[in-house]
Amino acid sequence: MTKEYTATAETVEEATQEALAELGADAESAEIEILQEPEKHLFGGNKEAIVRVAVKAETASAEDSASAGTEGAEAEEDGGESAEAEKPYFVDPVELTDEQVDAIADCGIETLKKLVSFLYDKEVTIEEFEGDDGEIILDISGDDIGVLIGRHGRTIDALQVVVSAVTTKKMGTHYPLSIDVEGYKYRRKQKVAEIAQRSAERAKRTGRPVALKAMTAQERRIVHMALREMRGVSTSSEGQGAYRHVVITPSN
């Protein structure tokens, strides 16, 4: 049995992360389909990105699957008919050769260097790593590099959206790329996971649900994944837009 979730967001990356978070799945184990590319118009009437993610039932977390079904169906009604015939596609990393992955990484690095040159007038170093989920991580380092992080990491997120979009267009394949600045996102991931663990223990100890503060789709996904194997609690996302957050509920 396959579980699906259709998400709508300002960018393809955000919509994908939203859907993965709701299903509690990794990108490498999911089938990801871009139903609609985002479009921005000068005088309004902007179109958001619509992405459908499907995973086999055994890879999706039981807690998130129930809510994903209803919300996914509603989003699909709004965006399903807007799909275009030809779209860049997501692939499972194992389907690509090392040479193809290297070419995607090189394209991402070249694009990132050009973007950084507009924001930062000093020399930077970009290192390439493989992430836990098989994604390519491009980590920027340099002197006084904080300007590339931005408030709550928003500049990093913007760089990632642009680099991913340009690389996808040039290579014809959407492969997961993650941009970081001196390990900022990695440290943030560790912190969110620790918050999730402590909050889950509190939920089990008190027998009451614990609502976390509003988080991005990526951060919510970290919480879902961190607690997926923990007994005695379940997780679900609640709220809308910027107020969407994870609730950890004690269970038998």
Give residue 58's pLDDT band: very low, low, confident or very high (50, 70, 90).
low
Residues above pLDDT 70, as percent of the chain: 81
Region 135-140 average pLDDT: 93
**In angstroms, rounded to a whole number, what is the distance separating the alpha carbons of residues 143 and 156?**
16
pLDDT above 90 (res 103): yes
Identify the pLDDT of residue 199. 96
**In angstroms, rounded to a whole number, what is the distance separating the alpha carbons of residues 74 and 177?**
29
**Of 42, 44, 43, 34, whose CA–CA distance to 14 is shortest?**
34
Give residue 33's pLDDT band: very low, low, confident or very high (50, 70, 90).
confident
For 216-236, how does the pLDDT look when each residue is reduced to its tens digit (9 = 90+)? 877 888 899 899 889 999 999
Q: Which comes out higher in pLDDT, residue 195 or 92?
A: 195
Q: Which comes out higher in pLDDT, residue 132 or 58?
A: 132
For 144-166, how does the pLDDT look when each residue is reduced to its tens digit (9 = 90+)? 888 888 877 888 888 888 898 88
Reported as type and span, the H/E element at residue 30 is none
Contact 29, 59 (CB under 8 A): yes
Region 104-114 average pLDDT: 93
Task: Report the mean per-residue pLDDT for the chain.
Answer: 78
Region 66-88 average pLDDT: 35
**What phi and psi values does residue 89 have, to the nearest 5 degrees?**
-115, 155
Domains in the chain (CATH in brackets) are: 2-87 (no CATH), 93-182 (3.30.300.20), 187-250 (3.30.1370.50)
Residues 6+ apart with CB under 8 A from 144: 122
Identify the pLDDT of residue 45. 55
For 176-219, how does the pLDDT look when each residue is reduced to its tens digit (9 = 90+)? 889 999 999 889 989 999 999 999 999 999 999 999 999 887 78
